[in-house]
Chain A
Amino acid sequence: MMQRDQCFRALARHVSDEVVVATYSSAVDWLALGERVLNYFSVGAMGLDSSHALGLALGEPQRRVICLQGDGSLLMNLGSLVTIAAAAPKNLVHFVVQNGTYEANGSHPIPNTNVDFSAMARAAGYAHVHEFSELANFEQQAGHVLKQAGPVFATLHVERAKPLTYDYANLYDPARRVALKAALRDPA
């Protein structure tokens, strides 16, 4: 079993000008790897991560979008798997970080900790679907996953993390949204 922060470190080695959509625990761990203007944390409602990511992907097909969604969040927006598969953005890579808990809400278990998200994504019609539970394998494959023509889906099976500090005022700082929009409008 992997740790979420380990997975994100492996992923970060391959990330450059992609927009990264992340919320709650994923956002905290991703931000811990360093500030970047192309982070998108202002999702506004649990579960909407994947829908924001779809909008960003449709808005500029030449820029890749990476969604780092928790399992509890995806359960709140399972229909987005079908919507994304139908819209078929080639520039969207959708990760679900599966630790079986609503980590930001007291680490209570999700209704079925063994739910098979990859099977759902495959059935919904994603172009490529992956599943990782060994770090060495993910480290080896992460670059390939990010380069595939989307929509791409990957489940990252991780352990529950130690309690995190959630600085929502920082994550949702309006200045982040202003800077992101400026960067996307004027990529130079």
Chain B
Amino acid sequence: MDADLLAQDEDRIELKGSSIIAALKASAVEFILSVPDIVTSGGLLRPIARDPSFKLIRVCKEDECIGIASGLAYYDKRALALIQHTGFLDSINAIRGVGVEFRQPICMMIGLLQHDPATTPRNSPRYGVRIIEPILDAMGIPHHLINEEADVAKIAPAIEDAYAGSHPLALLIGRRPSAALGSVELDSPATSVHSRASGNPGATLRGSGSPLARGRTDNKRTENKMS
């Protein structure tokens, strides 16, 4: 089984990827701009990649998301940068220039890598996570911690506010969103994997004994199609 589909050890609190995706749809987010992040990979990026409601743009480096989202905003097209906190840190200058100084509605959903979801980000065992909220505060960027199901309700109003006020926004994902059964296949045009339907879409994956772990094929490279 791929690492992104394993639940975090002894984490009994569920944050459903499907709930977050529903909130993004309710917010009229059309474009997802992403570098894969292990926190959000299984519960968000994989199902988003398969969902025709979204246009997924896979970028090479996170700061590309900032420019792309800005360009889209000129046409009132809503985008979400789905990135890891390390990518956020790498993109600070772009966020500073585009989001803060030029006041563009740059919405970021940031996975907190190796964070302990039982603690707050400011008390995280990881230095890289501890500094995220203070940096956002210093930059004047509104931020919300999405750590459990009740937090999902914060997403749509926050995105609405970011676009209404034309300012950046950070949604911090504190624990791995659970992946619904049936969301395990990779949908990148560069990969090919086994797909299996499930009659239990609300279930979450626990451990490597899941039937979803069987029958997968190895990733196979295919050529990108030119249009």
- Chain A residues near B (Cβ < 8 Å): 40, 42-45, 47-60, 77, 79-80, 82-83, 85-88, 90, 125, 127, 172, 174, 177, 180-181, 184-185
Contact with A along B193-227 (1 / 0, CB 8 A): 00000000000000000000000000000001011
Interface residue SS majority, chain A: helix
Interface size on B, residues (CB 8 A): 36
Complex contact A43–B59 (CB within 8 A): no
A-B interface contact total, Cβ < 8 Å: 119
| Complex Cα–Cα for A25 and B103 (A) | 24
Shortest distance from the beta carbon of A144 to any chain B beta carbon, whole Å: 19
| Complex Cα–Cα for A79 and B173 (A) | 26
Contact with A along B87-102 (1 / 0, CB 8 A): 0000001101111011
| Complex Cα–Cα for A50 and B76 (A) | 19
Contact partner of B67 among A43, A60, A82, A185, CB < 8 A? Answer: A43
| Complex Cα–Cα for A151 and B47 (A) | 28
Contact partner of B71 among A45, A47, A55, A79, CB < 8 A? Answer: A55
Complex contact A51–B68 (CB within 8 A): yes
Complex contact B97–A45 (CB within 8 A): yes
Complex contact B71–A57 (CB within 8 A): yes
* Cβ-based interface call for B13 (8 A): no
- Chain B residues near A (Cβ < 8 Å): 31, 55, 57-61, 63-77, 79, 93-94, 96-99, 101-104, 224, 226-227
Complex contact B74–A181 (CB within 8 A): yes
Contact partner of A58 among B57, B60, B61, B226, CB < 8 A? Answer: B57
Nearest CB in chain B to that of A89: its residue: B227
Complex contact B97–A44 (CB within 8 A): yes
Shortest distance from the beta carbon of A122 to any chain B beta carbon, whole Å: 11
Nearest CB in chain B to that of A184: its residue: B74
| Complex Cα–Cα for A82 and B64 (A) | 11
Q: Which residues of A contact B63 (CB under 8 A)?
A: 45, 47-48, 51, 77
Q: Which residues of B contact A90 (CB under 8 A)?
A: 227
Complex contact B77–A59 (CB within 8 A): yes
| Complex Cα–Cα for A99 and B41 (A) | 41
Can you list 27 residue pairs at the A/B interface with Cβ under 8 Å? A43-B67, A44-B67, A44-B99, A45-B63, A45-B98, A48-B64, A50-B67, A51-B64, A51-B67, A52-B67, A53-B71, A54-B64, A55-B73, A56-B74, A56-B75, A58-B57, A58-B72, A79-B64, A86-B58, A90-B227, A125-B226, A127-B226, A172-B102, A177-B102, A180-B74, A181-B74, A184-B74
| Complex Cα–Cα for A79 and B97 (A) | 20
Shortest distance from the beta carbon of A38 to any chain B beta carbon, whole Å: 11
| Complex Cα–Cα for A85 and B223 (A) | 12
Q: Which residues of A contact B76 (CB under 8 A)?
A: 185
| Complex Cα–Cα for A184 and B70 (A) | 13
Q: Which residues of B contact A185 (CB under 8 A)?
A: 75-76
Complex contact B71–A51 (CB within 8 A): yes
Complex contact B71–A44 (CB within 8 A): no
Q: When A90-B227, A185-B76 are in contact, do A56 and B93 touch as well, CB less than 8 Å? A: no
Nearest CB in chain B to that of A85: its residue: B224
